[in-house]
Structure 1
């Protein structure tokens, strides 16, 4: 909060033989949102031909993406009827321009050729736009998840752990580390001892996002000595360790940064890291991420969130310039300091040898992902997820916008709503957000685990023992129901 591989198409005359339908469990298919019939035929030494019929049993889809995982090392080499891509075991087939509309009860049949091994097994779980097909509830993942905090990795559009089990990040933000130090009041706002972290885990949260301040981490001399440098870093490391010890994923996130900005929607006129700036700066932010990545690169349980809420769109004249600034940095129209783009920061992280999962937010305070796929930074580690924020007062705060701008991203990469909240002191809005994300197997984190009130921002708790506010009750009860 502010305060894959494209594969060539086969010729149109390629034959398709349908046989060997994968059996479905009738009990689990009582009320499926979508139905998938998978057929493997025409097998030969080293390869086979496959067909997939997808039926949409829910509301009209304007675009679709089918996802599944090959359990036996199969690799798609050619395909038709969809844009096929594969990353590791995960296969994504996204609609062509001419077959994107899929009405209620409508079907589409697509096909592919793949290499095979001697131990081939068919896929068992299929998703359509993130919704699990052939069942009215999500099936048990065929792979047992690891115990405790996982080492998360992006596999296609899913997050998986070391065993390959699908995971979601569901939890809270723990604000304070971004502002207390620069304001001269401390390092965190409220307790971060073991009891307070356990209270988060008692909500059945599995993730805690920890906002940080780059000047405090780097030890710049405008910060009080007791709240900067080694003292700050050690406090963050201790909190990360407590979060992981309670089986939750720690996300370390850069929130407030250096650089003077007084243009449209400026949060402050201060050159220092005392508010949200439109973009990170080239002077200090790469050094921050080099240090953070070196600190946590040997602990793959820790996730990196590059920058809280970019808003170059408020400074630059056009959307195209904003997305270019977002990715490439440099001299950006309307921003008076040299910008570090998301590619710069990702390169900095990977240069340390860190292979941790990295979250990359969109523009418009992370509420706009419309240009994310076209401008996403290149990751040599192949371990990126898209980050998105939403509040009831944001532009993209309704299901039609989510279908138009989020669903295409979620079909390609893991999508994490790093902040969800509302300024109504209730939870009706986040209930809608959570349902939309639950239906697609996506991740979300409530803002924020702090004892504020509605006048200062959405607060989940009234006491650090985990007593919820009226807003927090919605998230707490939902997480416990999922847990």
Structure 2
């Protein structure tokens, strides 16, 4: 969904390094400064992997290229990195400059980050020695934070899986996902204004539950989760992941299903219907990017794989059909990714993202939205990605201004999909400050036992960006009254 007008985005550097958790500055001993300094940090970790960062400071003569070397001692293996060319041979790790960040003046610094695997949940010792261009640096490794004490609390929310065309709990009872979206995590962090828009404490989540909602969709930003360039440390990396984990736990504690969803992503797109010209994750892109999105989902899946109450929504609103010339090209791009006509960056297709999730061992339910901002499921069954666990769900969005926004279209395109797989309308809404349209949507979905979530539980102007509430105590807008009263009638 398009967001209402917000404050001007903070400038995001095009070629800065990874920003991780707060690091401890290196303080050199009295006397001559070391030729180089390195700050190493672990910005997040899970049972079988972690995310790390290095900040390199050049204290000697200027250089036009750099190469950092260090050794891992606990069997760690770098799997992917950014802002450096990463490689590993045995225990030896090398990070060489990219074309855009090779020059280091005296006193200048550069940062880079990586994802790595580690054997089991035991030790994750930091490297003890670093070399820059063959010269030993004075390094101050940051202590590694302890691993999580356990999976996110599951509270009263049931573990879910797919059975035929239904979502069911462990006992086989059908669970329709009926609730709201809680926007903010996709844009506040990248704008440098926080992590969530408005309160997400227990009282605020209780207010959602008081509407008799049983699901909350939580939009996320991949650069904030991964702690990439331009994200302020207090809003990215470990801080962001921790805040999301806490919100998920609170949602579950109130018996509601959390749906964690990737909303804004990396990749420059300036074609038809472009939301912005920025390469960074500051608006909706037509498709997820191959550079970071698989790593995002690997990390998210590792974080929540022990808690199958959490549902994964792979990508908010794909629209490769606006960039490509044929429907076949658009659907192939959607599923397979790669080089897609009209999109200037390498795309991660839905199959890539399913594979990234399943490679961690996660069996959580996964949602995949179709074309036209998830409003077109016309060929979803033909192009649906393979899922070895069978826990794949079709995701759909509908507003009063969409093309497929009437019973005739729903009967012809949604009903065949819903006959084979669970169908979740991750976003429903209207920009009229009324609820006559969503009333029709809910009536059609109710008749078929399908799921839907209203956009959005934020105190915005309901005419510019459909807002369900005027206060975080759950006071509804004239638009939100329709969803609130309907949920209470169904689940009260």
Assess same fold via TM > 0.5.
yes
Residue 318 of structure 1 corresponds to 326
Instruction: Please tell me whether residue 306 in structure 1 is matched to residue 314 in structure 2.
Output: yes
CA deviations 1:386-443 (Å, max 9, x no partner) are 0000000000000000000000000000000000000000000000000000000000
Report the Cα distance in structure 1 between the residues aligned to 2:307 and 2:156, rounded to whole angstroms: 13
Aligned with 2:171 (options 163, 181, 185): 163
Unaligned stretches of 5+ residues in structure 1: 4-145
Instruction: Provide the residue aligned with 1:430 in structure 2.
Output: 438
Q: Of 192, 195, 205, which aligns to 2:203?
A: 195
Q: Could you tell me whether the CA contact under 8 Å between 1:263 and 1:334 is conserved in 2? A: yes
Structure-2 separation of matches of 1:397 and 1:324: 24
1:222 is matched with: 230
Task: For residues 245-294 of structure 1, give each alpha carbon's deviation from its aligned partner in whole angstroms, at most 9, with x where no partner exists.
Answer: 00000000000000000000000000000000000000000000000000
Task: For 2:155 and 2:205, locate their aligned partners in 1 and report how far apart those are by CA, in whole Å.
Answer: 18
Q: What is the rounded CA distance, in whole Å, between the counterparts of 2:335 and 2:425 in structure 1?
A: 20
C-alpha displacement of 1:346:
0.2
Question: TM-score with structure 2 length normalisation?
Answer: 0.69
How far is the alpha carbon of 1:167 from its aligned partner?
A: 1.0
Contact 1:2–1:365, Cα closer than 8 Å, also in 2: no
Preserved CA contact (<8 Å) 2:216 2:256: yes
Which position in structure 1 is the counterpart of 2:465?
Answer: 457
Q: Please give the alpha-carbon distance, in whole angstroms, between the structure 2 residues aligned to 1:231 and 1:178.
A: 14
Give the aligned partner of residue 455 of structure 2: 447
Whole-angstrom CA distance in 2 between matches of 1:162 and 1:267: 41
Q: Which runs of 4+ in 1 moved over 3 A?
A: none
Ranges in structure 2 where 5+ consecutive residues have no aligned partner = 4-153
1:284 aligns with 2:292: yes
Instruction: Say if 2:425 is the partner of 1:420.
Output: no
Per the TM alignment, residue 2 of structure 1 is displaced from its structure 2 partner at its CA by: 3.1
Q: Which residue of 1 aligns with 2:263?
A: 255
Residue 225 of structure 1, CA deviation:
1.0
Is 2:353 the partner of 1:345? Answer: yes
Aligned partners of 1:437, 1:455: CA distance in 2, in Å?
A: 24
1:474 corresponds to: 482
2:388 aligned residue: 380
> Per-residue displacement from partner, 1:218-250 (whole Å, max 9, x unpaired)?
001211111000000000000000000000000
1:236 to 221, 239, 244: 244
User: 148, 156, 162: which is aligned to 1:154?
Assistant: 162
TM-superposed deviation, 1:152 = 1.2
Question: Is contact 2:155-2:249 (8 Å) kept?
Answer: no
Counterpart position of 1:209: 217
TM-score w.r.t. length of structure 1: 0.70
CA deviations on 1:353-378 (whole Å, 9 max, x unpaired) are 00000001001000000010000000
SS at match of 2:428: strand
State the Cα RMSD in Å.
1.0
CA distance in 2, matches of 1:456, 1:267: 16
Alignment partner of 1:275 is 2:283: yes
- Residue number in structure 1 paired with 2:150: none
Distance 1:205 1:165 in 2: 17
Does residue 2 of the first structure (1) align with residue 2 of the second (2)?
A: yes
User: Does 2:366 align with 1:358?
Assistant: yes
**Which residue does 1:7 correspond to in 2?**
none
